[in-house]
Amino acid sequence: MNFIYQTSLFDDGETTAPMIWSIIHNSANTQFNPQGSDPRITNGDALDAFDMKAMKKLVNFDAQKWQVFCENVGMTVYGAVALSWCKGAQIENVWSSWRASAFPLKPTPEFERPARFINPSLLPNTNSLAEIAEAGNNKSLPICAMIAALKGPLNFDLPYELLRTSPPQIASFLRSRMLRSDIRQLNDSSLIEIWSQTIKDTEYDVAEEEGSK
């Protein structure tokens, strides 16, 4: 029996990892490359709900088996975030798999979308930037992914000096979140300008209008 097939069978003997893998990757291609797609299934919210339902089927599927399968077919960012729903999943394995996929993370819908599928039980239940930074071990990818996964506003509760010296990737997400906020603090305009300069001429220099959601 094929090695990938051996590691991909679900307990029901019918559902396979390739089925789940195909669903979540086809949805991403449909949503962001809609030309030629069935117009009935290009609604973003509907696709997101469809993919979430598919990923939740992994809840009793061994995390190591899913990771082996994904590594054999080629690790992708959607394979990485789906790993978070598997039995015995560890968040560090999700981050390492995301890095292995070489998928960039920027504050735009196409790049933020995968982060929103990470199992929330593996993420800190907070909107505190300080707590997010601690949970992410002060590393850019986990911090930015957790910011992208937030459903509510971000609480910028770090000292001004730390905020203004944020590296480009984190600065791009902080700037994006602050631009979306309807509530401003005294130093916010200054920080937005500093972050704009930090990300200038980098891959994270993404145009975003103030007040956009």
pLDDT band at 34 (very low <50, low <70, confident <90, very high): very low
d(CA 140, CA 138): 7
Q: Give which of 80, 111, 76, 116 is closest to 95, Cα–Cα.
A: 80
What pLDDT digit, counting tens, does each position of 134-156 carry? 999 999 999 999 999 998 999 99
What local confidence, expressed as pLDDT, does residue 12 receive? 64
pLDDT tens profile 48-75: 898 999 999 999 999 999 999 999 999 9
- Rounded to whole angstroms, the Cα distance separating 68 from 101 reads 14
Spans of all domains in the chain: 123-213
The whole-angstrom separation of Cα 107 and Cα 174 is 9
| Banded pLDDT at 7 (limits 50, 70, 90) | low
C-alpha span between 126 and 151 (Å, rounded) = 10
Mean pLDDT of 11-33: 78
Helix and strand numbers, DSSP H then E, in the chain = 12, 0
Q: Which residue is associated with the tokens 């599928």?
A: 117
Express each pLDDT in 174-204 by its tens digit. 999 999 887 777 789 999 999 999 999 999 9
d(CA 167, CA 64): 33
Question: What's the rounded Cα separation, in Å, for the pair 38 and 34?
Answer: 8
Q: Is the dihedral angle over the CA atoms 57, 48, 84, 158 positive or is it negative? A: negative
Q: Say if residues 65 and 40 touch (Cβ distance below 8 Å).
A: no
171 vs 202: CA distance, rounded Å = 11
**Stretch (H or E) spanning 106:** none
What per-residue confidence (pLDDT) applies to 91? Answer: 98
> Which residues on neighbouring strands pair with residue 87, listed in sequence order?
62
CA-to-CA distance for 124 and 131, rounded, in angstroms? 8
